[in-house]
Amino acid sequence: MKKRRKEHHPKRFGIAVLTIILTASAFIYIDLCLRPVVITVAQYHIQSLINKAVNNAIITVMDKTQYSYDDLVEIGRNSSDEIVSVNYNSLHINKLRSELIKVSIEETQKIPVSYVYIPIGNITSIDILQNKGPKLKFTVTPSSYVEAEVESVFQNTGINQINHQIFINVKVTANALIPNYSTSVYSENKVCVAETVIIGKVPDSIGNGFLYSNG
């Protein structure tokens, strides 16, 4: 008895290949449309949570700080009562800066894994379908890095009157990790930790401003 030869069906094979190609193309198209939407929504979501966390840290630290302007700055004058120097108390300034970084890290680490929901209609460019259809759920896992800089700002407020402010600028770089996606956001929150009005002419070398470095 002769064995029957296996028959090849080029048409069925072609249909199967075409189906695979169309399916893969559809997934690629959906991914290309979905990616910018997911990233944008995640960025806004993480930005809001980071700002809230840092603001809580600033409020916590400033509520318990006991430093006055005179604790952070010493103004030197000569025998003619002219300002000759503005000296910064590095110990107190660095302590305050370090405390803000520490509490900001603690607050950002409290941010839990969260979720964003995107209606499937949002991946199309059709206006009538925006915010319509089933919602796709995405898990957002945040991670962040915190640093801070101290800035000293001089502003003329009148004849021989200088408004001097010391700011601490808390900077946070946060990553939002989403399955198959990732993005990052950058946030700055500046708080004035000391302020006074200096009476008398401030030398140009001081009046040009002072940036207390991260180091």
Length of the chain: 215
Structure tokens belonging to residue 121: 């209609």
Assign 209 a pLDDT band (cuts: 50, 70, 90).
Answer: very low
Rounded Cα–Cα distance for residues 212 and 166 (Å)? 10
**Residue 50, pLDDT score:** 92
Least-confidence region, from 51-60, 130-139, 186-195 = 130-139
Average pLDDT over residues 141-167: 86
Average pLDDT over residues 155-181: 84
Residue 22 pLDDT > 80, yes or no? no
Structure tokens belonging to residue 104: 């900001």
pLDDT digit string (tens) for 140-149? 888 889 999 9
**Residue 39, pLDDT score:** 81
Amino acid at 72: L
Angle of CA points 163, 166, 170, to nearest 5°: 145
Rounded Cα–Cα distance for residues 132 and 123 (Å)? 10
Specify the pTM: 0.72
**Residue 100, pLDDT score:** 94
Assign 53 a pLDDT band (cuts: 50, 70, 90).
Answer: very high
| Highest mean pLDDT, choosing among 106-115, 131-140, 152-161 | 106-115
Write the DSSP assignment of 18-86 as a string of letters.
Answer: HHHHHHHHHHHHHHHHHHHHHHHHHHHHHHHHHHHHHHHHHHHHHHH----HHHHEEEEE-TTS-EEEE
Q: For residue 194, how many other CB atoms are within 10 A of its CB? A: 21
In this structure, what are the phi and psi dihedrals at residue 7, rounded to the nearest 5 degrees? -90, 135
pLDDT digit string (tens) for 79-100? 777 777 788 888 999 999 999 9
Rounded Cα–Cα distance for residues 169 and 211 (Å)? 11
**Residue 17, pLDDT score:** 67
Residue 152 pLDDT > 90, yes or no? no
> What's the CA dihedral at 98, 101, 106, 112 to 10 degrees?
-170
Residue whose structure tokens are 């839990």: 112
